[in-house]
Amino acid sequence: MTCCEGWTSCNGICLLILLVIGVVLNAIPLGIDLVEQDKDFQNPISCYEWWFPGIIGAGLMVIPATTMSLAARKRGCCNNRTGMLLSSLLNAITVIGAVYCLLVSIQALSEGPLICNSPSNSTTTCEFSLKNLTDFHPKSFNLQWFFNDSCVPPTGFPNSAINNMHSNWRIPNSNSEEDRQRIFHFSVFLSLFLVGVLELLFGLSQIVIGFLGCLCGVSGQRSQIV
């Protein structure tokens, strides 16, 4: 097996692992309300789980490239110039999915869980629009909702007063429902962010390796000697 085929095979295994992790991470908060509150199709944690960054971005959009890359392990369709080129092109879809997962995760980490924005924890307050992602500004990113003593907005206070009240910082624990939701939200989307970063790196590397394999070719005779 040549260098290009070897890396493609390894790349496929890594993408498969990341794919499974992304889907599982996205599915965990979706099932929390069903287990704890016995309510179907209502998410008490965040709006952004319903954007399916792990199921669609880090999951479904990675399947074509993963399948093609794993074929190199058995010297299948990737064991030729056309196969290497196709694996490179399919990884462009992986890059798009990884970027989508990254953008949703960053936006979710910036805004915090629903309980920090709406005490009702209802998905009726969610706005499912791509404008939410394109309007993101890095300077506005912060994790005060996670480190503040409490992120639940008091009733009867303006937003400016609410921000001034949050002066005590601490790491949330599982002593309250609010803290549990903050920990779930932070853990899930930070993990999805890392999954998106890794998938982006593997996707970009496979694009380069695929083009090199197409230009230089693969050698079945050399792999047999090795």
- Most confident region among 71-75, 76-80, 140-144, 205-209 by mean pLDDT: 205-209
Domain residue spans of the chain: 3-225
Least Cα distance to 22 among 198, 178, 166, 203 occurs for 198
- Most confident region among 47-51, 81-85, 145-149, 150-154 by mean pLDDT: 47-51
The tens digit of pLDDT for each residue in 127-178 reads 777 776 666 666 667 778 877 777 776 655 444 444 444 445 566 666 777 7
Burial level of 156, CB count in 10 A (0-12/13-18/19+)? exposed
Bigger pLDDT: 165 vs 202:
202
What pLDDT is stored for residue 145 in this prediction?
80
Please report, to the nearest 10 degrees, the dihedral formed by the alpha carbons of residues 41, 42, 45, 47 taken in order: 80
Rounded Cα distance between 192 and 195, Å, is 5
The Cα angle at residue 105 between residues 101 and 92, in degrees rounded to 5: 20
> What single DSSP character describes residue 180?
H
- Half-sphere exposure at residue 145, Cβ-oriented, CA atoms within 13 angstroms: 23
